[in-house]
Structure 1
Amino acid sequence: MAHGTSPARPWLRNTASSLPQEEQKPAQRPAPSAPKSWQTDAAAPVVTDRDTANALRDQLAARAEQAGVPLKTDAPVLTENADLHLVTDSGHIIRKIREVDGKITFMVPPGVESVSLVSRITYLDETAGLTQKGRSPHGVLVGEITFFEAGRTRPITDHLKTEGLSGWGRVQDKARWTQGKAALPLAHRRPRAIGMLAVQLRATGEYDITPTAERISPIRA
């Protein structure tokens, strides 16, 4: 043995060279699995149509009755108060100053050229405990809108004429449903003038104000 040579090094080299080739391969990550989808990989089919939802509800209710399990359902707390108010682009909330014969009036500060009509929302079958994918929320049905400022009165009709106006549903009988937060341009404001905005409510809904975090909402896959 030569002076200064470690006897372990040739042994390590010989041992490594005698290992099978598959044991010397570097570790490899497993191949990623294919993406999964609700349509092909879910434990149960994803359905959102009303007929199927009703059938499942009836089946579960029948099984519970056969098993002697009492059905417990808490009736939702409903209100017809839409809590309609305005919100400016800067986030300032404007409450109504009066409501007479279905017309709600708001005082709009100078310089505010657009607002949002904000209210509670409801869904077509929400109070019946059903859910349906794709339903749009309904806030309030708005008819005529009038703006008073500096001794002048002018109608606002953008909500009836502009099809893609944010937060609005379809037009029906010279009125249009909001969807909870509906944009309303005012424009052409007089400098330093306070405006009065009158909104005609043609209809409201029954709004669920049950104080719980487990409120029913539309199913989303």
Structure 2
Amino acid sequence: MTDDPDFHLMDERGRRIRKARTHGRKSIFMVPGDVDFVWLVSRLCIPREPSEGEQSKRGVLVGGVTFFDSRRSRNLTEHLAKAPLEGWDHVLGEGCRWTSGHARLPLTKRDSYAQGVLSIEILSNETYSLE
């Protein structure tokens, strides 16, 4: 068991994108310009206090997500929608959502093919399995 969720991204071609840095609860990633969506990948944990209807195992609890490209920044909120999304658990209602350990995050239309910066707020503080 470990406190490290081994949180990283995977692009649509299967390339691993490691964190560039961490700032408080925010994980910062440099995203290549040719990437339209990423997978949020982590180890799995068993919830300390599971709610009714939650999965028995889950990844990380994601709060705010911001994408910065060459011309602007924008908050990405699709993961907070009530609609089912691949790799996401149900929305908790507090502006956050658990992943299943492998969750798809669209980056929306990009302004250019320049490298972008993705900031993902991780709210969970769980113990993760090394398996």
When normalised by structure 2's length, the TM-score is 0.89
Task: Find 1:114's aligned residue among 17, 37, 47.
Answer: 37
Taking the aligned partners of 1:87 and 1:111, their CA distance within structure 2 comes to 13
User: Does structure 1 residue 164 correspond to structure 2 residue 87?
Assistant: no
Taking the aligned partners of 1:93 and 1:198, their CA distance within structure 2 comes to 16
User: Does structure 1 residue 138 correspond to structure 2 residue 61?
Assistant: no
Taking the aligned partners of 1:153 and 1:145, their CA distance within structure 2 comes to 11
1:185 aligns with 106
Contact 1:139/1:204 (8 A) holds in 2: no
Q: CA RMSD, aligned part only? A: 1.7
Deviation at residue 192 of structure 1 after TM alignment:
2.2
Task: Find 2:121's aligned residue among 179, 189, 200.
Answer: 200
User: Does structure 1 residue 87 correspond to structure 2 residue 10?
Assistant: yes
Runs of 4+ in structure 1 over 4 Å off: none
Taking the aligned partners of 1:83 and 1:162, their CA distance within structure 2 comes to 27
Deviation at residue 136 of structure 1 after TM alignment:
3.5
- Structure 1: 5+ residue stretches without partners: 1-77, 126-133, 211-221
Deviation at residue 141 of structure 1 after TM alignment:
0.4
CA offset digits 1:60-98 (Å, max 9, x no partner): xxxxxxxxxxxxxxxxxx211111100011100000000
Higher strand share: 2
Higher helix share: 1
Deviation at residue 148 of structure 1 after TM alignment:
0.3
Aligned-partner SS, 2:20: strand
Taking the aligned partners of 1:205 and 1:163, their CA distance within structure 2 comes to 26
- Structure 2: 5+ residue stretches without partners: 49-53
Which protein is bigger by CA-based radius of gyration?
1
User: Bigger relative contact order, structure 1 or 2, given CA contacts below 8 A and separation 6+?
Assistant: 2
- Give the length in aligned residue pairs: 125
